[in-house]
Amino acid sequence: MVRLRAGVLLAMLVGLAGCSREFYRRWADRDAYYVVAEHNATGPWAVPPITIEPPPESRLHDPTLPDHPPMPPDDLAAHAYMHRAGTKLGYRRWEKDGVLDEVEDPGWRSALNLDPEGVLVLSPERAVELGILHSREYQTQLESLYLTALSLTLNRFEFDLQWFGANGTVYNHTGSGGFDGGESNTLTNSTNLGFTRAFTTGGQLFVNLANSFVWQYTGPNRETVSSSLAINFIQPLLRGAWRDVRMEGLTQAERDVLYAVRAFARFRKEFYLNVTTRGQGYLTLLLQVQSIRNLEANLEAQVQNLALHEALYIAGSVSTVQVDQVFLSVQQARLSLLQARLSLDNALDSYKFQLGLPPDLAVRLDDTLLAPFQLNDPELVTLQADLEKLLAEYRELDQAPPVDSLADGLRRLSAQTARLPHFLDEVADELRRWEEGLTGTEEEVRREKASLEALRTQLEELRHDQERLQQRIDRQAAQLAPARSAEDWELLQKQCRDEIALVSQLFVIQTQARVFLVRLRPFPFQEEQAIDIALANRLDLMNEKARVVDAWRQIRVAADALEPGLNVVVGANLSTDALAQGPLDFTSKANSYSVGLQFDGPLNRFAERNRYRGVLVNYQRQRRQWLASSDAISLSVRRGLRQLETERLNFSIARQSLIAAARQVDAARERLLLAGGNESTGTLDILNALNSLLQAKNTLIGSWVSYETLRLQLLFELELLELDDRGLYDDAAIFSRAEPPLPAPQP
């Protein structure tokens, strides 16, 4: 008896203490992560192992104890109500776990790997990695998947053996004046211990052991013990019976976790697209960066044009009106550049917010992807500007300069001419790379080869022209004489114009070569194949298809509720005798047993009728939803392929437009130099040509970005945008295969 009392006391202490918060948190995590891994083991929707605890390098990381977090900073006015609500004093120890000065842990910034200037350099890959670390949206999606899995653990627990235990100890005093005065002092300890078990057939088992110890302290000490063991089992035979109905909640919960894993797998791909291409993604930011570079180049050209017009004005070759036109064009170019930089700064702030980074963090974009859009060697552009400056320097003179000045001009011109072979070799190499990368239809390849050969011929002619020009310059430098200073002055200007024309031609050839080195990545699937791939691989369509079956199963469940209730009930109650000495000393005379049937007639099934009819309607709706989703995918793929072909054609046109615009600029500049500004339309021609070139450059990069964005979107539509564990995509993972991936066979 002493051992039994000690055991009861120990059970009471354990029940009072319970388990720690940390134990329950880790227990829940273990079960939820196991459930996710279980549904993530196979299939094209596999995602990396998840955890909802952000790592220390994340801005979302909480370094405090998760089960006893300190109180975060509170609003002062609202905080007062935690200590006094109305006229009642509140809890006094809110700060027992500590108080935080700020919600965000500043330590995360140390993991950003900033450059020596304290700037974060963003590449597409780095942006995706940072987004996964810091994005609030990404973290919310992770937690949604976790919570869905956590719900399933409760559904599974429903069919486990569920124990319960309770204890009550009461001291009772009645009466007064000792034993004869009717005084009574008792201590009663009552315990209930048992379990319930739900069966997949719909049956329910209930077992409860109840015992009571009573100690009497009035008069002679006495103790009594009474116990009872109740066993009840109920098994439905009609309504609520068997696995198809009883397991519906668990079945749906299991399928919901699968849906959630697929939805998260698709969200990862969509997140990648949003960070890299869609909306204000990385490619859009690069488009703005390239537009700024184009505006900078345009401003530089406008400034050079202004310097040329000012020199021609001093020489009396252009009017004030023409100079004013050029000056206003320069100012407009400066304003456009300022507005573009402002727009980029705003877009970068929005992008940082999208990644979960603070707006005040200094960032710089890695512009490696823009390298193909540098359509001319910057040194060639500088050479062109130097030549125009040299020509303007001698052209604006009122009379022939001294021989020494002419000799210096020829020396400088000769040095600049000697730089040309380097650029000629550079362009020849670019033409070779163009030829090696020829792709497209037979007609496209034929046309590009014709253009390529024509440019090679022009390049060889330029090489000969450069050699002859070098010889003429050297010959003139050797024959300088004071008596021929006027002739040498005019000849020097002619040599400058000839070299400017030669550089301009080389400029245009290099522009064409580099424009054609910018290649569009292929999309190798035709319409019928693409639609088949999409319908076979789309994860959201798989979920829609499964939800049709979910709605179909509900018909059976709802129909079950229309049936009458018929239950088999079995019960047993074992009790101890009032004079028994042991808590488990059951006697047959105190026991009772029962077995029977319970029937509930279907006399009132109005609500069940409405639900049943509603389920039938919902099933038809779900069928239509699946059909609509399937058709929408086909429609989206068809439209995407058409638009992709349109963008490819737009890019081809943008190439030709840019080449034509570059030719117009050089032709307008050459006409202005040859005419000395005497043509009234020369100024407008060069201004229009510069604007056309700027527009053509912006159109080219815009068309490339549109094509690449649409190409990746189509891969996403076909569910071929496969990501690695870091959340990054590589074309080689798809196009290195002979056949696109298909989902695993479903049972």
Confidence bin at 42 (pLDDT 50/70/90): low
Confidence of residue 158 (pLDDT cuts 50, 70, 90): very high
Q: Work out the pLDDT band at 1, boundaries 50, 70, 90.
A: very low
Q: Look at residue 207 in the predicted model and tell me its pLDDT.
A: 95
Q: Is the pLDDT of residue 14 over 70?
A: no
* DSSP per position, 448-504: HHHHHHHHHHHHHHHHHHHHHHHHHHHHHHHT--GGGHHHHHHHHHHHHHHHHHHHH
- How sure is the predictor about 747, in pLDDT bands with cuts at 50, 70 and 90? very low
Pick the more confident residue, 314 or 245: 245
For 743, residues 6+ apart whose C-beta sits below 8 A from its C-beta are 43, 44, 536, 537, 542
Show the tokens assigned to 212: 């009571």
pLDDT at 579: 60
Distance CA 439, CA 428 (A): 19
Q: Which of 327-336, 396-405, 499-508 has the highest mean pLDDT?
A: 327-336
The pLDDT value recorded for residue 744 is 46
β-bridge mates for residue 600, sequence order: 565
- CB-CB neighbours of 555 under 10 Å: 14
What distance separates the 2 farthest-apart alpha carbons in the chain?
Answer: 155
Q: What's residue 738's pLDDT?
A: 43
pLDDT band at 141 (very low <50, low <70, confident <90, very high): very high
pTM of the model: 0.86
User: In the predicted model, is pLDDT for residue 363 greater than 70?
Assistant: yes
- Give every CB contact of residue 629 below 8 A, 6+ residues apart in sequence: 540, 541, 544
- Cα-based distances in Å from 358 to 62, 142, 438: 17, 21, 45
Residue 18 pLDDT greater than 80, yes or no: no
Query: 134 pLDDT exceeds 50?
Result: yes
Higher per-residue confidence, 355 vs 735: 355
Q: Which residue has the higher pLDDT, 746 or 380?
A: 380
**What was the pLDDT predicted at 4?**
46
State yes or no: pLDDT of 736 exceeds 70.
no
Per-residue pLDDT at 15 exceeds 90 = no
The whole-number pLDDT of residue 217 equals: 79
In which band, very low, low, confident or very high, does the pLDDT at 508 lie, cut at 50, 70 and 90?
confident
| Mean pLDDT value of segment 553-572 | 95
CA distances from 167 to 205, 230, 507, 577 (A): 22, 17, 94, 22
**Dihedral over alpha carbons 634, 640, 644, 645 (to 10 degrees):** 50
What pLDDT, on the 0 to 100 scale, is given for residue 180? Answer: 58
Instruction: Tell me what pLDDT residue 734 has.
Output: 63
The stretch 254-268 carries a mean pLDDT of 95
Least confident of 515-529, 532-546, 670-684: 670-684
Query: Looking at residue 679, what is its pLDDT?
Result: 53
**Residues with Cβ within 8 Å of residue 558, at least 6 apart in sequence:** 608, 611, 612, 614, 615
167 pairs with which residues across the strands?
Answer: 191
* Mean pLDDT for the stretch of residues 83-90: 91
Looking at the chain, the whole-number percentage of residues with pLDDT higher than 90 is 56
pLDDT tens readout for residues 510-521: 988 999 899 888
Three-state SS for 324? helix
Range ranked top by mean pLDDT from 117-126, 676-685, 688-697: 117-126
Instruction: State the average pLDDT for the chain.
Output: 87
Give how far Cα 264 sits from Cα of 141, 271, 291, 539, 540, Å.
7, 10, 36, 10, 10
pLDDT digits (tens, 9 = 90+) for 217-233: 777 777 888 888 999 99
Return the C-alpha torsion angle 367, 373, 376, 382, nearest 10: -40
Percent of the chain with pLDDT over 70: 91
Average pLDDT over residues 692-708: 90
Alpha helices in 45-187 (DSSP H): 76-83, 124-134, 136-157
State residue 430's pLDDT score. 92
Cα 552 to chain centroid distance, Å, stands at 35
Highest mean pLDDT of the ranges 8-22, 353-367, 501-515: 353-367
Q: Which residues, other chains included, contact 741 with Cβ-Cβ below 8 Å and sequence gap of 6+?
A: 44, 537, 720, 722
